[in-house]
Amino acid sequence: MCGIVGYVGARECTEVLLNSLSKLEYRGYDSAGIAVFEDGEIRTRKSKGKIQDLVSKMETEGRITGHCGIGHTRWATHGEPSDVNSHPHGNANVTIVHNGIIENYKKIKEFLTRKGYVFESETDTETVAKLLDCFYEGNPMQTIQRVLDEIEGSYALGIMFRDYPGRIYAVRKDSPLIVAVGENEAFIASDVPAILKYTKNYYLLEQDEIAVLDNGRVEFFDDHGAPKKKQMLVADFDEEAAKKGNYPHYMIKEIHDQPVSIKTTVTPRIVNGMPNLEECGMTYERLKNYKNIFVVACGTAMHAGLVGKYVIEKLARVSVTVDVASEFRYRDPILSKDDLVILVSQSGETADTLEAMRLAKRNGTDTLAIVNVKGSSIARDADMVIYTHAGPEISVASTKAYMVQLSVFYLIAFSLAYANGRITEEECRHLVEQLTQVPDQIEEILKTPENCQYVASQLVNADNLLYIGRGLDYALSMEGSLKLKEISYIHSESYAAGELKHGTISLVTEEMPVIAVATQRDLFEKTISNVKEVKSRGAYVVLVTHEGQEVDKEAADCIITVPSIDDLLMPMTAVVPLQLIAYYTSVLRGNDVDKPRNLAKSVTVE
Ligand code: G6P
């Protein structure tokens, strides 16, 4: 989704803006632009395409330079990706960058058109820029407050007024924005990696708070214009952590980060060999009182919830319902005060997940967030938070965030099963001990990627693909399938292996490779029967199972094994080859692995 940056200080600001924007590329975008105070005027350059296209355009049109400016990467919502729809928007008097959606922009546009304003772009953002211009009578703060009273929807805004060179105003509602401070310099940004090259100190802007960055100083005001004191935060990772290092792509780096991410997430939550979530407010006593659990999330985070469902239900015998957030919100879910709603989100900013949480809170239901980004909206507003400590995840295709979300679900499941007496202390300790072995097992898998590279070479020309599995393997195969389709652009579906014969098997031919996941011992033979069904219809079959499993060599064209562990924990290791297969297939197809087309890392619109 859109990325916002802004800079005020002694540095050459175009350089800073371009660098900071490049650190937000992972969010997904289709155009870029900057506006800079140059010789007392606001000058703008913008271009469809990548930041490099903007740089090339500046070579032709002339580079703008100064010490105060705002920048933007746009992910098109209202209007196609084009130069004219790109941000910044505005005129010589006021110029803005915006992330979010102004829901009542048509009404505002009509109002402004009656006043004689002419619109160039199809964007909702241009209406805000023109409304600011329309209301402006010399006092920026009052103008912004008046505009905030008029606009509906979500926004993070960076605003510059021609009359106030060297000053940026920033405000947000339901879209993320941070304000960072260095020595005599200040920044705004959609996310922390954008500022790490310059400083680690930042403030989280709250709903409808207004920040004023003036010649390197920062002041905060509430929506009535009263000054506010805020607590400064310090980023807990540095620029290196948000870099690729020697890896060719962020995705493969993040796959390799997984063992460390699991350790950092799990270790502090194990006390004397037992799971302990008390620092997050989740005591055994509290956990065992919930009647039903709902897991609500989007994309990969939802898939982590599906694994969580199997594990919690199996171990703790508490009913778990998993919903995609955009559906949960509109299906009028039956929630009670005895239930728990778990929101899972890497970014903590996903609009649908955030709204689902608000719905749960309105119903008086407890909310627990499993979130990776510190201080994000979901983390701040949930009743309880368990942070996953994956560090920054830059690749759009989520890998290490999924892995640590799984880790947290295991901790919840073990705690709950122990709390309600479904497992003994000894059994609980054993499961915890198994969980702590996972990082080493993943290290082992990563030492020999060759089999996954080989599978990728077999899949590279496929148009369609099926993933099949039963039980936990089915939940896992959904994630495998999503990973492949989002970065390789090969159409792929995940199917419950036993359901295949009720329709979908009609698609199976030699043109339809099948990846079968069979790690659950009690279901192995049943899944193998389904494997035989597809193999006998000509499909190229890859089987993922655990070491030590007796397999008829003829059953599949390629067998990938991962180290054996308790069946319940197998998704944590078995997902790794699925991630690698997706990664290598994308590489072989020459795709932009980390920034797949049309996708955004953080989806802050509904
Ligand atoms: C986007 C990303 C996915 C991610 C989903 C949920 O669609 O491309 O990788 O799983 O959002 O994001 P969240 O930040 O809430 O986990």
**Is the model's pLDDT at 238 over the cut of 80?**
no
277 CA → ligand 1 middle, Å:
25
Give the chain's mean pLDDT: 94
Q: Which is nearest to 293 in space by CA: 225, 228, 367, 238?
A: 367
Residue 13 near residue 106 (C-beta atoms within 8 A): no
Whether 520 lines ligand 1, by a CB cut-off of 6 Å, is no
Lowest mean pLDDT among 7-21, 237-251, 392-406: 237-251
Q: Is residue 594 part of a domain?
A: no
* Helix (H) or strand (E) segment spanning residue 26: none
CATH number at residue 534: 3.40.50.10490
226 and 160 in a single domain? The answer is yes
CA end-to-end span of the chain, whole Å?
A: 11
- Separation of CA 194 and ligand 1 centre (Å): 19
Q: Which of 406, 439, 472 is the last residue of a domain?
A: 439
Q: Phi/psi zone of residue 180: left (φ > 0), alpha (ψ -120 to 50 degrees), beta?
A: beta
Tell me: do 277 and 222 sit in the same domain: no
Does the structure show a pLDDT above 80 at 242? no
Burial label, 120 (beta-carbon count in 10 A; 0-12, 13-18, 19+): exposed
CA atoms within 13 A on the CB side of 579: 29
Q: Are the CB atoms for 347 and 602 separated by under 8 Å?
A: yes
Ligand 1 contacts CB of residue 324 (under 6 A): no
- The pLDDT-based confidence of 237 (bands split at 50, 70, 90) is confident
Structural domain includes residue 421: yes
What is the pLDDT confidence band of residue 152, given thresholds at 50, 70 and 90? very high
The answer to whether residue 597 sits within a structural domain is no
pLDDT in tens, 261-296: 999 999 999 999 999 999 999 999 999 999 999 999
Indicate which residue of 109, 400, 595, 601 is catalytic. 601
Residue 601 Cα to ligand 1 middle (Å): 6
User: Do 195 and 127 belong together in one domain?
Assistant: yes
Nearest Cα to Cα of residue 177 among 198, 197, 166, 192: 192
- Residues 342 and 294: beta-carbon distance below 8 Å: yes
pLDDT for the residue numbered 375? 84
Q: What is the pLDDT of residue 410?
A: 98
**Same domain assignment for residues 165 and 43:** yes
Q: Could you tell me if 312 and 339 lie in one domain? A: yes
Q: Strand 210-214 vs strand 201-204: parallel, antiparallel, or unpaired? A: unpaired
Question: Tokens at residue 118, please?
Answer: 């002419």
The three-state secondary structure class of 399 is coil
350 Cβ inside 6 Å of ligand 1: yes
Q: How confident is the model at residue 13 (pLDDT cuts 50, 70, 90)?
A: very high
Helix 425-447 and helix 570-588, axial crossing angle in degrees, nearest 10: 20
Helix (H, G, I), strand (E, B) or coil at 80: coil
Q: How far is the CA of 50 from the centre of ligand 1 (A)?
A: 22
Taking residues 549-567, what's their average pLDDT?
A: 93
pLDDT confidence of residue 245: 87
Q: Do 72 and 218 sit in the same domain of this protein?
A: yes
Annotated catalytic residue, options 2, 13, 134, 452: 2
Name the residue with tokens 């499941």: 413
Q: Which residue has the tokens 């290598």?
A: 584
Q: Is residue 432 pLDDT above 80, yes or no?
A: yes
Mutate to test the pocket of ligand 1, among 1, 376, 398 (most ligand atoms within 8 A of CB): 398
424 domain residue, yes or no: yes
Q: Residue 234 has which token pair?
A: 């310090």
Task: Tell whether the model's pLDDT for residue 412 goes beyond 80.
Answer: yes
- Mind spelling out the 3-state secondary structure of 39-50? CCEEEEEEEECC
Q: What is the pLDDT of residue 285?
A: 92
The pLDDT of residue 527 is above 80 = yes
Residue 241 clears pLDDT 80, i.e. is over it: no
pLDDT band for 403, please (50, 70, 90 cuts). Answer: very high
Q: Return the number of other C-beta atoms located less than 10 Å from residue 381's C-beta.
A: 17
430: helix, coil or strand? helix
Q: How confident is the model at residue 599 (pLDDT cuts 50, 70, 90)?
A: confident
73 in contact with ligand 1, CB cutoff 6 A: no
Give the HSE-up count for residue 475: Cα atoms under 13 Å, Cβ half-sphere: 23
> Is 107 annotated in the active site?
no
Q: Is the CB of 298 under 6 A from ligand 1?
A: yes
Residues 228 and 279 in one domain: no
For residue 598, pLDDT over 90 is answered with no
Quick check: 605 and 351 in contact, CB under 8 A? yes
Which of 439, 474, 507 lies at the terminal end of a domain, its last residue? 439
- Examine the domain organization and report whether 25 and 170 are in the same domain: yes
CA nearest to 188, candidates 207, 172, 208 = 172
Kind of pairing between the strands at 31-38 and 274-275? unpaired
Residue 385, in any domain of the structure: yes
Atom of ligand 1 nearest to the CA of 378: 15
Residues 369 and 481 in one domain: no
| Closest atom of ligand 1 to CA, residue 599 | 8
**Domain end marker among 223, 242, 261:** 242
Q: What is the pLDDT of residue 263?
A: 97
pLDDT at 26: 83
Determine if ligand 1 sits within 6 Å of the CB of residue 376.
no
Query: Total domain count for the chain?
Result: 3
From CA 68, how far away is CA 66, in angstroms rounded?
6
Which tens digit of pLDDT belongs to each residue from 187-216?
A: 999 999 899 999 999 999 998 899 999 987
Predicted pLDDT of residue 236: 80
State yes or no: is 298 an active-site residue: no
Model pLDDT, residue 601:
83
- pLDDT at residue 351 greater than cutoff 80: yes
| 166 Rama sector, left if φ>0, alpha if ψ -120 to 50, beta otherwise | left
**572 belongs to a structural domain:** yes
Q: What tokens appear for 306 in the block?
A: 């599906």
DSSP code for 23:
T
pLDDT, average across residues 117-124: 93
CATH number at residue 9: 3.60.20.10
pLDDT digits (tens, 9 = 90+) for 364-384: 999 999 999 988 889 999 999
Give residue 260's pLDDT. 96
Q: For residue range 288-345, what is the model confidence (pLDDT) as tens digits?
A: 999 999 999 999 999 999 999 999 999 999 999 999 999 998 999 999 999 999 999 9
Map 95-116 to HEC letters.
EEEEEEEECCHHHHHHHHHHCC
Query: How many Å apart are CA 606 and CA 604, to the nearest integer?
Result: 7
255: in domain: no
Is 299's C-beta closer than 6 angstroms to any atom of ligand 1?
yes
User: Quick one: pLDDT band at residue 79, thresholds 50, 70, 90?
Assistant: confident
- Which residues fall within 8 angstroms of residue 245, CB to CB, at 6 or more apart? 253
Q: Is residue 262 part of a domain?
A: no
- Domain housing 25: 3-242
Give the three-class secondary structure for 506: helix
Tokens 């008046």 locate to: 146
Which structure tokens are listed for 525? Answer: 């033979």
- 169 Cβ partners below 8 Å, 6+ apart? 140, 141, 144, 157, 158, 159, 160, 161, 210, 211, 212, 213
Distance, CA of 305 to chain centre: 15
What is the spatial distance between Cα 166 and Cα 213, in angstroms, rounded to a whole number? 8
Mutate which of 175, 300, 393 for ligand 1 pocket (most atoms within 8 A of beta carbon): 300
Same structural domain for residues 146 and 32?
A: yes
What are residue 217's DSSP bridge partners? 214
Q: Are residues 156 and 13 in the same domain?
A: yes
Average pLDDT over residues 84-92: 91
602 lines ligand 1 (CB under 6 A): yes
* Pair 287, 225 in one domain: no
260 lines ligand 1 (CB under 6 A): no
Burial class (CB in 10 A: 0-12, 13-18, 19+), 340: buried
